[in-house]
Chains A and B, each alone.
Chain A
Amino acid sequence: MEDSVSTQPSKDTEAGKLERWASIISGGALVLGGLQQRSLRGILMAAAGGSLAYQGVQKKSTIKQVGEAVGIEKAILVEKTVTINRPASELYSFWRQFDNLPKFMRHVKSVQVQDAQHSHWVANAPLDQSIEWDAVIVDDQPDRLIAWTSTDDAEVNHSGFVRFQPATGNRGTEVKVVMEYELPGGAMAAAIAKLFGEEPEQQIGDDLSRFKQLMETGEIATTEGQPKGA
């Protein structure tokens, strides 16, 4: 029998995680892991430092605080990387126009760009419903990184970043996406969880495959609509 006592994460570990995140975003460390407990949004905010366009992000909603207190908060946090045989500048430019995202992100119905920083996202939900939220870009480094997060009054806490880094030996660009949907509970959480199913990594992985196909071949491979025997 194991008799060791589980310890609360210390302030030091939290700081360590923060550093690791900052280094992932800036391109140092390559793989995240064991970071599921900390919200990506908080990290993005902290890592991006004082240069944020968005106010009031420190404020936690009541429901979230309750969720944290009783330990029901779960998040869908996914990291996926793909190598694309195109220059970073081209990939960055395509992604930076957020209204391009629904072309390859299957769960996103539309993204309406409102201004240089703000956008309105609509995601598909079960039973022909949709979920909507506003997002703001919190870090934007041309040809390198785009980070975004939902606004504080949004019903959905969604954050993500995409990082573009040249692969070794002229083998294109490594595109890393980290996305998170926080699930504070309730109907919205259930809808989002259902949307991603059992394997959110696979869905984001498929999104990235489609992004790669679009960028490398100009189209997305499909068999939808082909004939089949009865």
Chain B
Amino acid sequence: MKAVCWHGTHDVRVDTVPDPTILNPRDAIIKITSTAICGSDLHLYDGFIPTMQSGDILGHEFMGEVVETGPGVTNLKQGDRVVVPFTISCGSCFFCNQDLWSLCDNSNPNAWMAEKFYGHSPAGLFGYSHLMGGYAGGQAEYVRVPFADVGPLKVPDGLTDEQVLFLTDIFPTGYMAAENCDIQPGDTVAVWGCGPVGQFAIRSAFMLGAERVIAIDRVPERLALAQAGGAEILNYEEIDPGEALKEMTGGRGPDSCIDSVGMEAHGTGPMALYDTVKQAVRLESDRPQVLRQAIAACRKGGKVSVPGVYGGFIDKMPMGAFVNKGLTMRSGQTHVHKYLKPLLERVQKGEIDPSFVITHRLPLEEAPRAYKIFRDKEDNCIKVVLKPFSTAA
């Protein structure tokens, strides 16, 4: 089959590889009809996530048709149309039982690696480094889905791929980010980063009762899309977001702040330069520019929610501000399984059509170009959907 493989920093190729097979009783094989490139894939593309190996198949936002099931999978049958969470979860450990699906104890075969980095291992993820399990991803024609009796959700007829594809990651991720803000009536939520996750965080914050959402970015088309979603916007290259946020909120600061940028934040000023240099020489693994701003801007007693991906260590964490303002920080890989059904219902009811973020629809073969334009934000690119069987699509 054809698959998008990582071969090094800024080197992804469409390779011909063997088709996946059932390896465990609870596996299923899915024929992929739609698959997307995630902002977090760019951290792999840029070489900032450790333990990638040449030839690893990328992709963790995908959906398709069940073509084969292992003997342990009785709830799916050939031909079922499913969306697949990017987190792999067993459904029977303590964490899965607590609805903390991305913290599954049993799905990472390389748990020891993650334990060395983090003390404990999170769930395995599709196509996201060996640290996270080394599972082949879904930017391919077919994919093997472990614990297929737990993860995949059948999609009702009448909804297009594009309406449901983002249930696999970015919609739940933005939604969980907003949920982590514990939004109260009258709240103002500030969202750093107007990429796809930021866009869903903005809309989710409104769904969960925020009165105002202020979106911060520097890319005009992303700010425009945020504005279309009801947000007030700030271009951090034109205005210092810290001061502006204070002014816009009567001096109080936003009630909660969402960092949907993560480890490769851009910024202005000496601190941003400091991070860029330190990261370039590997003295700092992540550039926490946004996180610092969010902590500084957040109102006293507020919430800082971090859906953005961080992989390792950060410097100059403003712990004094965090402590003395009594902030709360919440984060985590998304517990996708928990959100699949409720968010599908919102799509069915027409409360949101997640396809609004899509700017590019390309055949799988064009993945290398797609990664490049997405990374460089060329051609107004916000979200790319790849079609492995484009003639059928």
A interface residues with partner B (beta carbon < 8 Å): 83, 85, 171-172, 202, 205-206, 209, 212-213, 216-230
B111 interface hit (Cβ, 8 Å)? yes
Tell me the minimal C-beta distance from A28 to chain B in angstroms.
Answer: 25
| Cβ B23 vs Cβ A217 within 8 A | no
| Cβ B97 vs Cβ A225 within 8 A | no
The 18 listed contacts between A and B (C-beta, < 8 Å) are A85-B94, A85-B97, A205-B115, A206-B111, A209-B111, A212-B105, A212-B106, A213-B90, A216-B90, A219-B25, A221-B107, A221-B109, A221-B146, A223-B23, A223-B134, A227-B19, A229-B3, A229-B15
Please classify how large the interface on chain B is, using the bins under 10, 10 to 19, 20 to 34, 35 or more. Answer: 35 or more
Additional A-B contacts beyond A213-B90, A220-B24 (13; CB < 8 A): A212-B105, A217-B147, A219-B26, A219-B72, A220-B109, A221-B24, A222-B23, A222-B109, A223-B133, A227-B17, A227-B136, A229-B7, A230-B17
> Which of A202, A224, A228 has the largest count of B CB atoms less than 10 A from its CB?
A228
| B interface: dominant SS | loop
Q: Compute the total of residue contacts between A and B using a CB distance below 8 Å.
A: 94
| Cβ B23 vs Cβ A226 within 8 A | yes
Q: Find A217's partner among B106, B115, B134 (CB 8 Å cutoff).
A: B106
Q: What 7 A-B pairs come out closest when comparing CB atoms? A: A229-B5, A229-B55, A229-B15, A227-B17, A228-B55, A217-B90, A221-B109
B interface residues with partner A (beta carbon < 8 Å): 1, 3, 5-7, 13, 15, 17-21, 23-26, 53-57, 72, 90-94, 97, 105-109, 111-112, 115, 124, 133-136, 140, 144, 146-147
CA distance A202 to B136 in the complex (A): 24
Tell me the minimal C-beta distance from A57 to chain B in angstroms.
Answer: 35
| Cβ B124 vs Cβ A221 within 8 A | yes
- CB-defined contacts of B23 to chain A, threshold 8 Å: 222-226
- CB-defined contacts of B26 to chain A, threshold 8 Å: 217-219
| Cβ A228 vs Cβ B17 within 8 A | yes
| Cβ B57 vs Cβ A229 within 8 A | yes
| Cβ B18 vs Cβ A227 within 8 A | yes
Nearest A residue to B5, CB-CB: A229
Tell me the minimal C-beta distance from B48 to chain A in angstroms.
Answer: 20
- CB-defined contacts of A219 to chain B, threshold 8 Å: 24-26, 72
Q: Find A216's partner among B57, B106, B134 (CB 8 Å cutoff).
A: B106
Nearest A residue to B133, CB-CB: A223
| Cβ A221 vs Cβ B106 within 8 A | yes
Tell me the minimal C-beta distance from A51 to chain B in angstroms.
Answer: 36
CA distance A223 to B107 in the complex (A): 10
- CB-defined contacts of B19 to chain A, threshold 8 Å: 227
- CB-defined contacts of A227 to chain B, threshold 8 Å: 1, 3, 17-20, 57, 136, 140
Nearest B residue to A172, CB-CB: B94
Q: Find B56's partner among A209, A218, A224, A229 (CB 8 Å cutoff).
A: A229
Tell me the minimal C-beta distance from A201 to chain B in angstroms.
Answer: 10
Nearest B residue to A214, CB-CB: B106
CA distance A34 to B18 in the complex (A): 51
Tell me the minimal C-beta distance from B129 to chain A in angstroms.
Answer: 12
Nearest B residue to A209, CB-CB: B111
